[in-house]
Structure 1
Amino acid sequence: MSERKLNMNIFYQELLNIQGLEVEFIGNSQIFKESIRGFSINSKTIQPDEIFVAIKGDNFDGHKFVGEVIENGNEINVVSRQWYQENGKQFFRGNFFIVKNTLTALQKISQYYRLKFDIPVLAITGSNGKTTTKEMVSAVLETKLNVLKNPGNLNNHIGVPLTLFSLNENQDIAVTEMGANHKGEIAALAEIAQPDYGLITNIGPAHLEFFGSLEGVFQAKSELWSFLEKNSGCAFVNVDDPFLAVNIPAAKKVVKYGFENDADVTGKLLNIDEQGRAAFLVAGEEIKLKIAGVHNINNALAAFVVGRELGIEPEKIKHVLENFEPADKRMEIVKIKGLRIVNDCYNSNPASARKAIQTISQMQTNSNRIAVLGDMFELGELSEKEHGVIGEYIADFKNINYLVTIGKYSEFTSKAAEESGMQNVLHFEKKDELVKYLKSICKFDDIILIKGSRGMKMEEVTKGLMAIL
């Protein structure tokens, strides 16, 4: 991400005049003549002279740290009216911007700040591959442009506003990943970021606990299309996705891409090597990916299409994509003691689990393929069913020799796999016991997939296994 200048292009006094934001100020009005240096919601990482925004969530309340922040020298705070009425009198120092809701204030200020810059914004959402696509696209664009992007996967109702505060006049484009697990959240993020371009990677069974169905997922993600339609934007459409292919947005410009269906830009899968890395052909360029997983050709094709649309030469795009490294815990291949561990622990849902299973089935080995699967979260009433479907799915791959599961719902995966005729299926309640078992069966040239939702912390299995090999 581009480094933010010391001062932002906004003065303290402007916070009192943002449309739709009621603000009361108590403190030293001399600060109004000064420009703001930044915003922070974290009392531990706040930088000197940044504004502290005391966000209240379901399990935390930033207001508890206002005193600590002031004592450490950051005297300017955004706080709720209710908190100030109950606690404000005890503070003899500090400057307070008092609002009804601090999260709403953060978002309103971020939207106001974004509109100060006449630079394009690309929004990326979808069920799978958002972060990888965002990183690929950004790397491609950075060959020619100064790019702002979300750090890591800070893609929610807090992360996107904080990212936009890093805008400056030296940047050429912002690439914002947008995540959501409730309807209306993408629409809200689009209003804040005001994207000129939009890309939905795919529609899959993620966050079904809140979306209810695949149709619900599509309705939530396509809120991005709605914004682009109303604001004369450009949509990049993956026509290999069955939902997206039959719901082409009525945006001012639409660029369709894919491998299987007619598109404006069509790729052709060439081969998959022994490490599960795909090569594909697009616009006369043969691109060999360094990242494992045949599904990553869709992410790479999206990056190619965006790059070409924004003026990046095809040979530069090819170079970037062929040297792209996976982010931590995303289809990361770790080689140790003759084993290949596919460390895909960052997150999991039914679609990404299938893709990871497919990947190890395509990787070449003279030994065993072992799948270690943890629970997939946020599937709601469909949790048992979806975990069972994964068990049936993996049983169809006769070259996957072991299935090892852990977690409340993954037991349904192992049971379904056994019922479908798969041998060597074991379920564990504790990670240390699982790791010991893996050590007992591992041998030279084995391929071990380790995957689960973020809350399962499956990287502990990866680290535990590496520690005792």
Structure 2
Amino acid sequence: MSQIADIHKAFLSSKGVSTDSRNNNQGVIFFALKGANFDGNKYVKDVLSNGAAFAVADDYSLKGIENIFVVDDVLTCLQELALHHRRYLNIPIIAITGTNGKTTTKELVAAVMSRKFNIMATQGNFNNHIGVPLTLLSMNKTVELGIVEMGANHVGEIELLCKIAEPNFGIITNVGKAHLEGFGSFEGVKTAKGELYQHIKNNNGKLFINHDNEHLMGMASGIENRIEFGVESGFISGQTTKNDPFIAMSWQTEDGLSYHIQTKLIGSYNLENILSAICIGHTFNVKPEDINAAIEDYTPTNNRSQFIQTAHNKIIMDAYNANPSSMQVALNNFSEMDATNKLVILGGMKEMGDDCITEHQKLLDTINKLTFEKVILIGTEFKAINTYNAIFYEDNESLIKDIQLKPIQNKSILIKGSRSNKLEELLPHL
């Protein structure tokens, strides 16, 4: 029996995987990961003495100690164990990636699929080279279907995650300008996200694809095993019927049946995320009434397109992430909404590399053409550009001080920015 098989046997007898020595590790198998500022090997003995069942380490001085597996590299072992476990489970895995909307799509797909199957989906943002293995290892034999979100900021990362998760179904929500420091260019983004398509093609899997997206259609050229959806036609089609502030929509099957949904989602850009979930659910024979109920019951959290009514203002809180494409659609959607006294508060976009000034200027050029009563900009990214009539603040604290002196009231507010801006700090003052 190979070492991975031995570790998998130990894993199955344990209470799960831990990578943090500070957790309650009673009965778990502890993986002693290393980072720039920590070395899990130093805590292995303590974790075992505090009740862990097993540990995996790559410090050879620990070799021979009971219940410790010593390997060449703990991270590689974690990934190989996840692959071994995925093959042991032998269930359908749906992989989801994309520049924008992948988490919302993942949550919608999970909501729909859980109406028929016992599913397990990525929790939080566990979508990288550590998070994907942990997601797979959170599944047991009662799970009938897995939904795995895959994030990346460098070419090659999606390919690695596909080798670990071996998805048989895949969807790319969209491709846009994000993490340009790592990808280098928009073409780099397409290459990186396209690694999912390549894996699906090479392994006879099935793609779900928005045929209204010309970039995705071009990337999927030559892949025949796919199911398309879109606004006008496809296996599933659908249209927004209202967006004020929540999306109402209708959707149709290929055989002409039609349904209507009132969602709790804001932003017409979420239509493609909803259609993705409908298409996947319908492919897996989830009943239409269950699809509709799942989507209508879904409420976004985590500062993702949330509608918040405060004592003084109506707020669209969309500050989990930001890049040029997501900024553009959020601003256009807000511009088109039937609301008065519109205020936009934007935080700077991160990881834009050499394109930082250019992309922020494009953003402000767009805003200048739209009709907002007032625009507030936060962050040094806006410092070197023409901000037109917008009001600039270095940081949240500076804006909060001004709000305390002159409260903002009776406004419809869009708050949008990269996660590191922590724009949610503004909410108590609005």
Same fold, judged at TM 0.5 (above)? yes
Partner residue, 1:4:
none
Once residues 61 and 33 of structure 1 are traced to their aligned partners in structure 2, the CA distance between those partners, rounded to angstroms, is 22
TM-score by length of 2: 0.92
Counterpart CA distance in 1 for 2:136 and 2:11 is: 23
Structure 1 residue aligned with 2:251: 281
Partner Cα separation in structure 2 for residue 32 and residue 108 of structure 1: 14
Change (3 A) 1:394 1:98: same
- More deviation, 453-462/62-71: 62-71
How far, CA to CA, are the matches of 1:58 and 1:462 in structure 2?
34
User: Secondary structure of the residue that 1:77 maps to in structure 2?
Assistant: strand
* Cα distance in 2, alignment partners of residues 226 and 387 from structure 1: 33
Question: Cα 1:141–1:33, aligned 2, differ >3 Å: closer, same or farther?
Answer: closer
Matched, 1:328 2:302: yes
Q: CA deviation at 1:297?
A: 0.7
d(CA) in 2 for partners of 1:219, 1:180 = 11
Q: CA deviation at 1:434?
A: 0.6
- Shift of the 35–235 alpha-carbon distance from structure 1 to 2, 3 Å rule, reads same
Aligned to 1:290: 264
- Determine if contact 1:450/1:462 at 8 Å carries over to the other structure: no
Using a 3 Å threshold, how does the CA distance of structure 1 residues 163 and 67 change in structure 2: closer, same or farther? same
**Which of residues 171, 174, 181 in structure 2 aligns to 1:199?**
171
Paired with 1:287 and 1:394, the residues of 2 have a C-alpha distance of 31
Q: Does 1:397 align with 2:374?
A: no
Pair 1:426–1:193, CA change in 2 (3 A): same
Q: Which residue of 1 aligns with 2:96?
A: 124
Q: Which residue of 1 aligns with 2:289?
A: 315
**Matching residue within 243, 247, 259 for 2:231:** 259
What is the aligned residue count?
Answer: 424
Aligned residue for 1:7?
A: none
* Matched residue, 2:55: 77
* Per-residue CA distance 1:166-187 (angstroms, 9 max, x = gap): 2222221001011111111111
TM-score by length of 1: 0.85
1:381 correspondence with 2:354 = yes
Partner of 1:144: 116
2:278: which partner in 1?
Answer: 304
SS state of the match for residue 89, structure 2? Answer: coil
Letter in 1 for 2:32: A
Give 1:15 deviation, angstroms.
6.2
Choose the corresponding residue for 2:147, options 145, 168, 175.
175
Q: Is the 8 A contact 1:203 1:241 kept in 2?
A: no
| Contact map agreement 1:138 1:149 (CA 8 A) in 2 | yes
Report the Cα distance in structure 2 between the residues aligned to 1:137 and 1:33, rounded to whole angstroms: 29
User: Structure 2 CA distance, aligned partners of 1:294 and 1:216?
Assistant: 27
Matches of 1:184 and 1:47 in 2, distance apart? 33
Aligned to 1:16: 3
The 3 A distance-change label for structure 1 pair 404 and 228 is same
In the TM superposition, 1:83-98 aligns within 5 A as: 83-85=59-61, 88=62, 95-98=67-70
Per the alignment, residue 159 of structure 1 pairs with 131
- CA contact under 8 A between 1:278 and 1:297: conserved in structure 2? no
* Inter-partner Cα distance in structure 1 for 2:53 and 2:297: 45
Partners of 2:190 and 2:171 lie apart in 1 by 13
The answer for the alignment partner of 2:214 in structure 1 is: 242
What secondary structure sits across from 1:246 in the alignment? helix
After TM superposition, give the deviation of residue 303 of structure 1 in Å: 0.3
* 8 A Cα contact 1:55 1:61, kept in partner: yes
Letter in structure 2 aligned against 1:117: L
Q: Within 2, Cα distance between the matches of 1:59 and 1:455?
A: 21
Q: Following TM superposition, by how much is the alpha carbon of 1:249 offset from its aligned partner in structure 2, in angstroms? A: 4.9
Residue identity (%): 36
Aligned mates of 1:217, 1:39 — CA distance in 2:
32
The match for 1:134 is: 106
Aligned to 2:322: 348
- Aligned with residue 20 of structure 2, among 29, 34, 42: 42
Verify: 1:406 aligned to 2:393, yes or no: no
Q: Could you tell me which runs of 5 or more consecutive residues in structure 1 were left unpaired when the two chains were aligned.
A: 1-13, 26-30
- Give the drift of 1:34: 8.0
**Aligned-residue offset at 1:208:** 0.9
Report the Cα distance in structure 2 between the residues aligned to 1:392 and 1:192, rounded to whole angstroms.
Answer: 43
Deviation at 1:251, TM superposition (A): 4.2
- Residues 128, 202 of structure 1: 8 Å contact kept: yes
Any residues of structure 2 matched to 1:408-427 within 5 Å, and which? 408-412=380-384, 415-418=385-388, 423=389, 425-427=390-392
RMSD of aligned Cα (Å): 2.3
1:41-84 deviation line (CA, Å, top 9, x unaligned):
1112243111111111234432343343234222622111xx33
Residues 341, 447 of structure 1: 8 Å contact kept: yes
Is 1:370 aligned to residue 343 of structure 2?
Answer: yes
1:270 aligns with 2:237: no
Cα offset for 1:314?
1.5
What aligned pairs does 1:223-238 form with structure 2 within 5 A after superposition?
Answer: 223-238=195-210
Residues 299, 77 of structure 1: alpha-carbon distance in 2 compared, 3 angstrom cutoff: same
Matches within 5 A, 1:438-453: 438=403, 440=406, 442-444=408-410, 446-453=411-418
CA distance change for structure 1 residues 17 and 41 in 2, over 3 Å: closer, same or farther?
closer
Measure, in 2, the Cα distance between the counterparts of 1:251 and 1:119: 23
Judging changes above 3 Å, is the alpha-carbon distance between structure 1 residues 68 and 461 closer, same or farther for their aligned structure 2 residues? farther
Residue 457 and residue 84 in structure 1: after superposition, are their counterparts in 2 closer, same or farther (change >3 A)?
farther
Looking at structure 2, the residues matched to 108 and 314 of structure 1 have their Cα atoms a distance apart, in angstroms, of 38
The one-character-per-residue Cα deviations of 1:211-244 (angstroms, maximum 9, x if unpaired) are: 1111111111111111111111010011222211
Task: Confirm or deny: 8 A CA contact 2:212 2:230 kept in the other structure.
Answer: yes
Q: Which residue of 2 aligns with 1:457?
A: 422
From 190, 200, 203, give the equivalent of 2:162: 190
